[in-house]
Amino acid sequence: MHLSGLTVSTGGPAMVERDEELLELTADFLQETAEGLAQVEELLSGPADAAKVDSIFRVFHTIKGVAGLLELPQLVALAHTTETLLNQYREGKKAVAPDWLFDAVAHHRSMLKGLEAAVAAGVALAHHGPVDGFIAQLKEEIERDEALPAKPVEREAAPTAGARALKETLKVDAERIDTLVEMMGELIVTEAMVANSPEVLAIGAPRVRKSLDQLGKMCRYLHELAMRLRMVPVRGLFQKAVRIVHELSKQTGKEVGLEREGEDVELDRGVVDRLEEPLVHMLRNALDHGIEPKAEREAAGKAGRATLRLRALHESGQVVIEITDDGRGLQRDAIVKRARERGLISPDAELSDAEVCNLIFLPGFSTAQKVSELSGRGVGMDVVLRQVQAMHGRVTLSSAEGRGTTIRLTLPLTLAVINGMLVSCAGERYIIPSLAVVEALRPEPQMWATAGQRAEVLNLRGELLEVVRLAPLLGAQRREDGTALTVVVEGGGKKVALVVDDVLSEQQIVIKPLSEGAQAADLFSGVAILPDGRAGLILDIDRVVGRSAAPLAEARA
């Protein structure tokens, strides 16, 4: 039976059963092989010893076995040939050449992709032309004699230090977990609604109060636990970086070593998935713009081999992912010149360092002299910014000319929950994501100043900030009694003083998408359920800062 049989269901009950079995087997195979290949890449990222070659060999051996079972002859041939080459490495007939293995992994991946698509479409797996070519090349490499020092690869008796203890895991349908997380989210909202209702607040009996407290605690604990079910380590993402850097350094001819740190840091699966594209753009940017050619590096007294550092860490309830290169850094003059040419800034504008950094996040901006295969088309960093902002995260960039650039992504642990500051404004309540809040204060009268009776400035310990009043921006009445609270927020690299009526609380907020029909209002990034059960809008601070100059045309009754 060929794969085309997978979806045929006309062969009677026995046939159907077999098809379902095969489908399940194929799904498992796809997942396990993807994991195996990722493992191979990780093993290849360091120096190869005998134990590693053995582990890599086992991965391809398994692929060969299962592919045979699933009747995928071309994949069997590919795995088999790779295995033969690995065997030569094991026997010490050849020195390990990681490039061959990286390529083999890539070809396995493209076949798996084809298989996935074929299964989804219910057709047989098509023959992959390029794979045949690669198998032929591999065979040539196998035939080639290599004069090698007689000693085979050294074997170690003990397992390598890098081996991780295997934890027991359970495969669960992602949909079930999502439903569970959603229900738990609703449970904490309902719990808060009950606990905060005036009737329940009026109950004074200590026994009831204590039980209610306990109930609330349990709900929050359960919710947290449910959230953690969706968390995965960033290891998989970092492994992809290994592959991308390997590819890019081949394409650019620049020698680059990738250091990884904090691979065990966990993030929501949804966040990790959506980081893939930004990661590619950032790595491309680093390799193409940041890191200089070897000759230039050596002339500047740097090591010829560049170092990229990928780091994940926890920081006050958020996760930070950092990419640091030791390249030439942002070239301030080139960026400003380019921005002037493109009319993005006025010819005589004086920009701060932070403003210069922000220019590279504009759509269509690139200082690359020529469009290369890698970058320079002006898409890239704006994609990074957009993707991260869509997840309620933040991008910051720092650079030292001649010494390198660091891009820092600050991300929420999950897509569903953020920390937010609940503020009131003209009788309504809005949420400011805590990530955007610098500080909240009640300014002294002498800190305020106006120009032309309208443009307000706040003097915050010597730092002059533009003042944005939230009420007129939202088409509401402005409160004039001077007791207003000011929240200093940062968006799009600019700090402004946002005037609200009061800060009510700071809490974890479950985000819901703003439904169609209400999304015309682009000052908001989403909506949340407040503790009393009402819907509350989440302010998109980047837009608030950007829109400060143009308030809504009219107030609604």
Partner 1 sequence: MSATATQKYMTFRLAHETYGLPILKVRELIGALEVTRVPGAPAFVRGVVNLRGRVIPVTDLSLKLGIEGGGKSEQPVIIVVHSEKGPMGLWVDEVLEVVTFEASQIEPPTCISAAAFDLSVLSGIGKAEARLVFLLELDRALAAAALPQGSAP
- Does position 468 bind partner 1 by CB under 8 A? no
Nearer to partner 1, 185 or 278 (CB): 185
CB of 188 to partner 1, least distance (A): 10
- CA angle 28-32-33, nearest 5°? 115
DSSP 462-502: TEEEEEEEHHHHTT-PPP-SS--EEEEEEETTEEEEEEESE
- Which stretch in 7-15, 186-194, 370-378, 411-419 sits in contact with partner 1 by CB under 8 A? 186-194
For the segment 286-325, give every residue that binds partner 1 (CB under 8 A): none
Picking from 179, 185, 174, 177, the residue whose alpha carbon sits closest to that of residue 417 is 185
Nearer to partner 1, 35 or 182 (CB): 182
Picking from 136, 131, 112, the residue whose alpha carbon sits closest to that of residue 3 is 112
- Does position 521 bind partner 1 by CB under 8 A? yes
User: Using CB under 8 A, which of 482, 516, 549, 550 touches partner 1?
Assistant: 516
User: Using CB under 8 A, which of 96, 524, 541, 542 touches partner 1?
Assistant: 524
CB of 518 to partner 1, least distance (A): 4
CB of 17 to partner 1, least distance (A): 38
Indicate the residue type of 110: S
Nearer to partner 1, 475 or 546 (CB): 475
Nearer to partner 1, 112 or 476 (CB): 476
Nearer to partner 1, 205 or 550 (CB): 550
User: Using CB under 8 A, which of 243, 319, 536, 538 touches partner 1?
Assistant: 536
Indicate the residue type of 536: G
User: Using CB under 8 A, which of 407, 537, 541, 545 touches partner 1?
Assistant: 537
**Residue tagged 């700090």 (tokens):** 495
101 vs 103: CA distance, rounded Å:
5
Nearer to partner 1, 190 or 505 (CB): 190
Torsional sign, CA 445, 448, 449, 453:
negative
- Does position 550 bind partner 1 by CB under 8 A? no
- Does position 197 bind partner 1 by CB under 8 A? no
- Does position 46 bind partner 1 by CB under 8 A? no
Nearer to partner 1, 243 or 429 (CB): 429
User: Using CB under 8 A, which of 53, 111, 356, 529 touches partner 1?
Assistant: 529
Nearer to partner 1, 99 or 186 (CB): 186
- CA angle 60-65-66, nearest 5°? 100
Per-residue contact string for residues 470-509; x = within reach of partner 1 by CB under 8 A: ---xxxx---------------------------------
Give the strand pairing for 437-441 and 485-491: antiparallel
CB of 503 to partner 1, least distance (A): 19
475 vs 472: CA distance, rounded Å:
5
- Does position 186 bind partner 1 by CB under 8 A? yes
Q: Is 460 helix (H, G, I), strand (E, B) or coil?
A: strand
DSSP 398-420: EEETTTEEEEEEEEES-SSEEEE
Q: Is 242 helix (H, G, I), strand (E, B) or coil?
A: helix
User: Using CB under 8 A, which of 145, 515, 549, 550 touches partner 1?
Assistant: 515
User: Using CB under 8 A, which of 185, 327, 329, 380 touches partner 1?
Assistant: 185
- Which stretch in 5-13, 326-334, 452-460, 530-538 sits in contact with partner 1 by CB under 8 A? 530-538
CB of 537 to partner 1, least distance (A): 6
DSSP 107-119: HHHHHHHHHHHHH
* Residue 157 CB burial class (10 angstroms; 0-12, 13-18, ≥19): exposed
- CA angle 473-553-499, nearest 5°? 15
For the segment 400-439, give every residue that binds partner 1 (CB under 8 A): 428
Nearer to partner 1, 63 or 523 (CB): 523
DSSP 61-122: HHHHHHHHHTT-HHHHHHHHHHHHHHHHHHTTSS---HHHHHHHHHHHHHHHHHHHHHHHHT
User: Using CB under 8 A, which of 78, 189, 237, 415 touches partner 1?
Assistant: 189
- Which stretch in 273-281, 316-324, 497-505, 511-519 sits in contact with partner 1 by CB under 8 A? 511-519
Picking from 490, 452, 487, the residue whose alpha carbon sits closest to that of residue 469 is 487
Picking from 383, 410, 400, the residue whose alpha carbon sits closest to that of residue 290 is 400
Nearer to partner 1, 337 or 534 (CB): 534
- Does position 534 bind partner 1 by CB under 8 A? yes
284 close to 374: Cβ distance less than 8 angstroms: yes
Q: How many residues bind partner 1 (CB under 8 A)?
A: 31
- Does position 523 bind partner 1 by CB under 8 A? yes
Picking from 170, 188, 171, the residue whose alpha carbon sits closest to that of residue 227 is 188
Q: Can you give the binding site for partner 1, defined by CB under 8 A?
A: 182, 185-186, 189-190, 428, 473-476, 512-518, 520-524, 527, 529, 533-537, 552, 556
